[in-house]
């Protein structure tokens, strides 16, 4: 068996305090704490394969966290009301919603919201359904029926913006019982992503500016402060049908998507509150996924690689990390 010296070219050093700038794989003995320690680094983030959906589909509404999420509706084809719950390992089917695709979702795996969307009879639904962990209840409608909108928040404090038919800039906030129209996006668009903790702070990015459906891809990004939208720095790669994750407009992530070509992409970008930075590419080229989670631990499921070509795959994202670990004898 190789020793640490064989691998690193030096013996394990004894120090009285942890080194201020350790490198990945470095090991030392802390004589003050009387323990062996080491340093690990994942400087660019990484993807791993998660449990597949039971029903392959695109255009699902995702909400929750990486280890407890729901993917609702979508198109297999046909347009579906199937809802699946993720436990961090696998998906299981739960109670259906009204069949729809390209809706938006908000909340947690036990208290959520799905709103808007499209079905064969309309490209812009107003219906909102509330999830209590076991079943769905119809609640107050959106003021403006639409699909391919962005949305996020909680079951009692959410926001929806943009969408189609046509190309709209409408924004509405949800207070747990009703939707209220608010100041519009600066740029009308559809098939955008939107993430935020609640109705008072969010970020909207990407999409198509039209005027026809799914044309003129954009990288425009706007931040919401509870009363108005402000244009900030654009995505590096313009695209629509992307997904996002995050609980803060200062810390978000944009997953894949496609151009108006259409060219399906494999691009990930991280938002730090000021600008977007490209990071590790996902393993799959696809768009129109259900996305949720945080910028540190995101989840994307389903999607398509062409029309219709639905897929069932899931990718789990882990953000860049650095950790000092303590070794224990066994």
CATH number of the domain within which 147 lies: 2.120.10.80
Mean pLDDT taken over the chain: 93
- Find the radius of gyration of the CA atoms of the chain: 22
Assess whether 59 and 29 both reside in one domain: no
- Supply the pLDDT for residue 8: 60
Residue with tokens 């998906």: 91
| Residues 292 and 299 sit within 8 Å (Cβ to Cβ) | yes
HSE at residue 257, side-chain half, CA atoms within 13 A, is: 30
**129/222 same-domain check:** yes
Q: Is residue 137 part of a domain?
A: yes
In a domain, 160, yes or no: yes
* pLDDT value for 290: 98
CA-CA distance, 108 to 64, in Å (whole number)?
4
Parent domain of 22: 4-42
Q: Are residues 74 and 17 in the same domain?
A: no
| Res 5: pLDDT | 63
CA 175, 178, 179, 183 torsion-angle sign: negative
Q: What is the pLDDT at residue 9?
A: 59
CB neighbours of 224 closer than 8 A, spacing ≥ 6? Answer: 159, 161, 171, 196, 200, 201, 202, 203, 204, 249
Regarding whether 120 and 165 lie in a shared domain, the answer is yes
Give a yes or no: residue 63 inside a domain: yes
Q: Are 246 and 288 in the same domain?
A: yes
Tokens of 37: 């320690």
Q: How many residues does the chain have?
A: 330
User: What residues contact 121, with CB distance under 8 A and at least 6 apart?
Assistant: none
164 and 289 within one domain: yes
Q: Tell me: do 20 and 81 sit in the same domain.
A: no
pLDDT digits (tens, 9 = 90+) for 232-276: 999 999 999 999 999 888 899 999 999 998 999 999 999 999 999
Residue 21 inside a domain? The answer is yes
Whether residues 100 and 84 fall in one domain: yes
Same domain, 26 and 65: no
Exposure string of 252-267, with b = 16+ CB inside 10 Å and e = fewer, is bbbbbbbbbebebbeb
Domain assignment of residue 325, yes or no: no
- Picking from 42, 57, 72, the residue at the C-terminal end of a domain is 42
53 and 38, same domain (yes or no): no
Question: Where do we find the tokens 């066994």?
Answer: 330
pLDDT, residue 142, reads 98
CA distance 23 to 8: 12
pLDDT value at residue 293: 97
pLDDT (tens digit per residue) in 289-329: 999 999 999 999 999 998 788 999 999 999 877 667 787 75
3-class SS of residue 87: coil
Residue 135 lies in a domain: yes
pLDDT tens, the chain, 330 aa long: 666 566 665 788 898 998 888 877 788 889 998 888 887 766 778 999 999 999 999 999 999 999 999 999 999 989 999 999 999 999 999 999 999 999 999 999 999 999 999 998 888 999 999 999 999 999 999 999 999 999 999 999 999 999 999 889 999 999 999 999 999 999 999 999 999 999 999 999 999 998 888 899 999 999 999 999 999 999 999 999 999 999 888 899 999 999 998 999 999 999 999 999 999 999 989 999 999 999 999 999 999 998 788 999 999 999 877 667 787 755
- Same domain (yes/no): 102, 11: no
Residue 293 lies in a domain: yes
If one counts the domains in the chain, the total is 2
Whether the CB-CB separation of 254 and 206 falls below 8 Å is answered with yes
Note whether 258 and 266 are within 8 A (CB).
no
283 and 176 both lie in a single domain? yes
Smallest Cα–Cα separation from 83: which of 285, 283, 302, 249?
302
Q: Is the dihedral of CA 149, 153, 154, 156 positive or negative?
A: negative
Please, is 141 exposed, middle or buried when counting C-beta atoms within 10 Å of its C-beta (0-12, 13-18, 19+)? middle
pTM: 0.88
Give the per-residue pLDDT at 329.
58
323 inside domain:
no
């Amino acid at each position: 068996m190789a020793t640490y010296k064989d691998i690193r070219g030096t013996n394990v050093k004894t120090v009285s305090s942890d080194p201020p700038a350790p490198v990945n794989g470095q090991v030392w003995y802390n004589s003050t704490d009387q323990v062996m320690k080491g340093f690990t680094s994942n400087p660019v983030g990484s993807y791993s394969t998660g449990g597949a959906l039971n029903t392959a589909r695109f255009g699902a509404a995702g909400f929750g966290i990486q280890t407890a999420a729901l993917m609702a509706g979508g198109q297999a084809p046909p347009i579906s009301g199937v809802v699946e719950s993720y436990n961090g390992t696998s998906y299981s089917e739960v109670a259906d919603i009204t069949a729809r695709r390209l809706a938006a979702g908000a909340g947690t795996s036990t208290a959520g919201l799905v709103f808007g969307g499209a079905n064969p009879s309309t490209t812009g639904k107003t219906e909102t359904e509330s999830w209590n962990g076991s079943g769905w209840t119809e609640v107050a409608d959106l003021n403006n029926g639409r699909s391919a909108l962005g949305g996020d928040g909680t079951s009692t404090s959410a926001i929806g913006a943009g969408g189609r038919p046509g190309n709209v800039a409408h924004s509405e906030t949800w207070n747990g019982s009703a939707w209220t129209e608010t100041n519009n996006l600066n740029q009308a668009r559809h098939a955008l992503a939107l993430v935020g903790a609640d109705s008072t702070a969010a970020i909207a990015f990407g999409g198509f500016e039209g005027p026809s459906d799914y044309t003129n891809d954009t990288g425009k990004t706007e931040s919401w402060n509870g009363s108005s939208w402000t244009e900030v720095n654009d995505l590096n790669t313009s695209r629509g049908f992307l997904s996002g994750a995050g609980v803060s407009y200062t810390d978000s992530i944009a997953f894949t998507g496609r151009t108006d070509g259409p060219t399906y992409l494999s691009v990930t970008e991280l938002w730090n509150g000021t600008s977007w930075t490209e990071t590790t590419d996902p393993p799959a080229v696809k768009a129109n996924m259900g996305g949720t989670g945080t910028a540190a631990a995101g989840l994307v499921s389903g999607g398509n690689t062409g029309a219709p070509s639905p897929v069932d795959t899931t990718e789990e994202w882990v953000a860049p990390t650095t950790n000092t670990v303590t070794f224990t004898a066994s």
